[in-house]
Amino acid sequence: MNDTGIEIPLAGNWFTEVCDAHGTAFSLRITERLTEVKTAWQRIEIFNTTDFGKLMVIDGCVMLSSRDNFIYHEMMAHPALFIHEQPQNILIVGGGDCGTLREVLRHASVETAVQVEIDEQVTRLAEQYFPELCESNNDARASLQFKDALQWVKNADAESLDVIIVDSTDPIDPAEGLFSELFYRDCWQALRPGGIIVQQSESPILHMNILREMHHAMATAGYTAVKTLQFPQPVYPSGWWSATLARKGEMFTGYRQKEATEKPFETHYYNAEIHTASFAMPSFFLKELST
């Protein structure tokens, strides 16, 4: 049994995340639990695994492992930043492990990258257990703020941001408000024309209801175009994940392909071919969104 009384397939040296609503579970073999911190918002655990490096878990859900977080972080940052003509002012909502921030700061055009994470402990634990993700935290362009991002965006100057990256937990407390039309409207106000919001949008095979609602809410909030990309993410439910982008006042008509091809920094998943490919969506996805 876990905290919520759900029977879990766990024995011995395994951490298991049960996806009760979908009858699946994913396990990583662990050698030890390094720490457990209860904060005002959530319970954060760090484990050592035998094959995936360190593992961060929040309220029983896998957040990231050392081994495969590169896919998620690169795909949350680079597609949006290579679509925007000149991304200068970036907001990261959540993202406390700082992996997305690190990818954002690889872009020379970026002048400011503000990260607004509600729970400072996520960042403090990332600094300790995932130092490689935090290597750009002292970049002069970065600002780490530990606040409620809903309020931060509501109070942001109109047309002051180029890209907003919503790198949050699943759409339940405390992240539920980040999946609402109201929040998307506040983001729309804060974005300059041509600005892009990109948000992690769960698994195409498990969470089509969330994806449909997100597309609807973003369109209703005033964005001109909404588009979803897909990528593998082995440690998340179903191993298959997505991010959804919406743009203010412009369609998605391409990206800075030459710059993406000749980018002066290394990536492990993202490249120019992957950029284009990630926007190709399965037939069932297209069909379900069109109904």
Known catalytic residues are 167
Q: With binding defined as CB under 8 A, does residue 238 bind a copy of itself?
A: yes
227 pairs with which residues across the strands? 245
| Burial class of residue 116, CB neighbours in 10 A (0-12, 13-18, 19+) | buried
Under 8 Å between Cβ of 230 and 200: no
Stretch in the footprint of a copy of itself (CB under 8 A) among 14-22, 118-126, 138-146, 186-194: 14-22
Stretch in the footprint of a copy of itself (CB under 8 A) among 66-74, 89-97, 107-115, 137-145: 66-74
User: What CA–CA distance (Å, rounded) separates 204 from 238?
Assistant: 9
Q: With binding defined as CB under 8 A, does residue 214 bind a copy of itself?
A: no
Find, among 198, 206, 286, the residue nearest to 24 by Cα.
Answer: 206
Give the residue with the Cβ less far from a copy of itself, 47 or 183.
47
Give the residue with the Cβ less far from a copy of itself, 10 or 219.
10
Give the residue with the Cβ less far from a copy of itself, 177 or 234.
234
Report strand pairing: 191-200 vs 161-167.
parallel
User: What CA–CA distance (Å, rounded) separates 218 from 179?
Assistant: 9
Binding test (CB under 8 A) with a copy of itself, winner from 3, 5, 11, 253:
11
Residues that bind a copy of itself (CB under 8 A): 7-14, 16, 22-29, 49-52, 67-68, 71, 204-205, 230, 232-234, 238-240, 266-271, 273-274, 276-284, 286
